[in-house]
Structure 1
C-alpha cells in the first residue's frame, strides 16, 4: 500500500526539490494538481483531505490557510514555511534535536529554517551539556546561496550580474530568531547576521565563542567530544575530526542533504568558532522534509536523500 503525498506549493523551489527526491520511490504516490487546480480552493481542500501526508511549500500566510483547509481530516502535515515553528501542538522537525520518536508520532511537523539548522546543530548539544551557558551573548554570522530567498531573489541574482553579496536583516527581528532561541534553550535571541552570495545553493553558519569569557574552563576537546557523542548515531550529521585550511561553497554545487560541523579553537583555548556547512535547499529545506516524511512513515531515515 502506497502513501499518498500532496505537495502544496509544488511549483516553488523547495517543492520541486522535494518532488525530485520522491521520484522513483514506489512507497509514495503523488497527488498532482495543474496550474488552474492549484488556484481553486475547493480542489486544494480535496487534495489536502485525500492525502496521507501533505507537505506545505508555501509562504507563511498560505501555509496557515492550508492547515485550516485540512481541518477535519486525518492528514499529517509537514510545513516547510516558518509559520508553525514555535507553535503549540506542532513538532519541530529536527529529528537529531527533538528525537526521531517524537517526529514519528506527530500529526503536525514544522520543518526547521535553514540558518537555524546550522546554529542549533552546533549550539544545542553544547548548551544541553552545560558547556555553554544559556545566558551567553551568542552571535551568528552566516552566508547562503540565493535560492533560499525564493523566486524573487533568484531572479535578482540572475538578472543583476554584478551582484555578488547581499547582507540583510539590518533592522534585527529576523523571523528565524524565535526558533533559534527556543530550541537551543538560550535566554535571548542571538545577534544574527545573515548574508547571501552569488551561488545558487549552499550555506555556512559560523558562531564565534569567547571561551575565556565562560564561567568554567571549556577546551577544544570538550567541544569536539560533546558534538561527537551527540551525533554518533546520526546518518546525516557529521562532525569533522580535523580542521581544513578553508571551508568553501561552490557555485555549481549538486544537491546534498548532509550537514557538516567543524570546531575551530585558538591555540591558547581563548576563543572558538563553531561552523556548520549544509545545503540550504537540502538539510535546510527539502532534504529535511523528506527525512521527516521517512520517519513519519516508518521508512529508512535516509531513503531518497542525497548523501
Structure 2
C-alpha cells in the first residue's frame, strides 16, 4: 500500500518542487485539497489528520497553525519553514549532520528542514568544530549569493517582470542588513558555535542555485591547522555520502589556477552548477603563506536547500530508499 502524503501549500515554490520530485513515485500517494475548500479550516484539518506524512510548505505562522490542527498521533510532519528549526521535539532535517543523525530523522515524528544558507554553512563548519579545528568561540562570517527564487513569490515576480515598469534592474542585491537573518539560530545550534556568524547574504539576477562561503583565518585558530587538515576532516565526515561531496586536492588545484587575462579568477565555480539535483559540493581554498582559507559550498537552493532535502527526509521517515525521487549532479 502506498504511503499517503499531503503537501499543505503545494502551490508555492517549495511545494511545487516537492510535488515535481514525487510525481513519478508509485510508493507514495500525494493527496490534494479541493481547490474550492482551500481556505476551509475543517477541510485542511481533515487532510492533515488522514495522511502518513504532512509536509508544510507554508509561512511560519501557517506552519504553526497546521501543526496545532494535527491531533492524530500517527501523522508525521516535515516542516520546510523556519517555524520549528530550533524547537524542542523537532529533528533537524540534515541527515549528514553527524553520525547517527540519519536514524534520528528516520524515527522522528516531527522533522524541520534546514534553510538553504544554513545547509551550506553547517555542512562546512559543523565537522570542523566537532574535530576541534575550529573552537566554539571562533568569530566567523558567512556570505554568498543565491538565486532570487529563494525569496519566494514576491521576489521572483520582482526580478522576472519586465523592467523598468514593475520589476527591478538590480544585478546583485545584498540583504539581511539588520544582521538578524532567520537562519542564524540554526547556524549556531547545529554547528556548536558559541556566537552567531556575521551573515551577509545576497541575491543575484538568476533564478536558482547558490554559493555559500565561510572565510577562516587559520593563523587565529588554536594549533594553526592547514588547509589539508580542514579538507581531511570534511572528507572523513562525509565519507560514503551520496549527496555531499568534498572536492579533492586535484580539483582544488585545477579550480585555483589562474587563466590568461583573469589572474586569480576561479574557472568553473558556478552557483548554478548543481541545479536540479540534491547534491551539495564542498571546497577548501587556501593560501598557506597567509594562513587564510575560504570554505565554500555549492548547492541548489531549491534542491538540497529546500525541496530535495524534504524528499530525502520523507524517504528516511518512511523507511524507503533515501535517494528515491532525487538526482545527483
Higher Cα radius of gyration: 2
**CA–CA separation in structure 1 for the residues paired with 2:150 and 2:37:** 26
Two-structure CA RMSD over aligned residues (Å) = 1.3
Cα distance, 1:36 vs. partner?
A: 2.4
1:204 matched to 2:216: no
Determine which of 117, 128, 138 is the counterpart of 1:115: 117
Structure 2 equivalent of residue 163 of structure 1:
170
1:154 matched to 2:160: no
Matches within 5 A, 1:118-129: 118-129=120-131
**CA–CA separation in structure 2 for the residues paired with 1:157 and 1:253:** 21
The farther-off stretch of 253-262 and 201-210 is: 253-262
Gaps of 5+ in 1: none
Q: Is this contact kept in 2: 1:220–1:269, CA < 8 A?
A: no
Report the secondary structure of 2:142's partner residue.
strand
Structure 1 equivalent of residue 70 of structure 2:
70
Cα distance, 1:35 vs. partner?
A: 2.6
Report the secondary structure of 1:26's partner residue.
coil
Structure 1 equivalent of residue 61 of structure 2:
61
| Partner deviation per Cα, 1:225-260 (whole Å, 9 max, x = no partner) | 11111100210000010211421234x974121000
1:5 matched to 2:5: yes
Report the secondary structure of 1:207's partner residue.
strand
Gaps of 5+ in 2: 162-166, 257-265
Report the secondary structure of 2:201's partner residue.
strand
**CA–CA separation in structure 1 for the residues paired with 2:274 and 2:12:** 19
| Partner deviation per Cα, 1:121-141 (whole Å, 9 max, x = no partner) | 000000000000111101001
Q: 1:123 to 1:253 in 2, by over 3 A?
A: closer
Structure 2 equivalent of residue 50 of structure 1:
50
**CA–CA separation in structure 1 for the residues paired with 2:71 and 2:139:** 41
Q: 1:170 to 1:235 in 2, by over 3 A?
A: same
Report the secondary structure of 2:127's partner residue.
helix
Determine which of 276, 289, 297 is the counterpart of 1:276: 297
Matches within 5 A, 1:4-23: 4-23=4-23
Structure 2 equivalent of residue 258 of structure 1:
279
Cα distance, 1:172 vs. partner?
A: 1.1
| Moved >6 Å (runs of 4+) | none
Structure 2 equivalent of residue 24 of structure 1:
24
Report the secondary structure of 1:166's partner residue.
strand
Normalising to structure 1: TM-score of the pair?
A: 0.97
Report the secondary structure of 1:221's partner residue.
helix
Cα distance, 1:193 vs. partner?
A: 0.3
1:299 matched to 2:306: no
The farther-off stretch of 261-270 and 60-69 is: 261-270
Structure 1 equivalent of residue 96 of structure 2:
96
Cα distance, 1:71 vs. partner?
A: 2.6
The farther-off stretch of 96-105 and 5-14 is: 96-105
Determine which of 236, 240, 247 is the counterpart of 1:229: 236
Q: Is this contact kept in 1: 2:52–2:74, CA < 8 A?
A: yes
Cα distance, 1:34 vs. partner?
A: 3.3
Report the secondary structure of 1:275's partner residue.
strand
How many residue pairs were aligned? 306
Structure 2 equivalent of residue 213 of structure 1:
220
Cα distance, 1:72 vs. partner?
A: 3.7
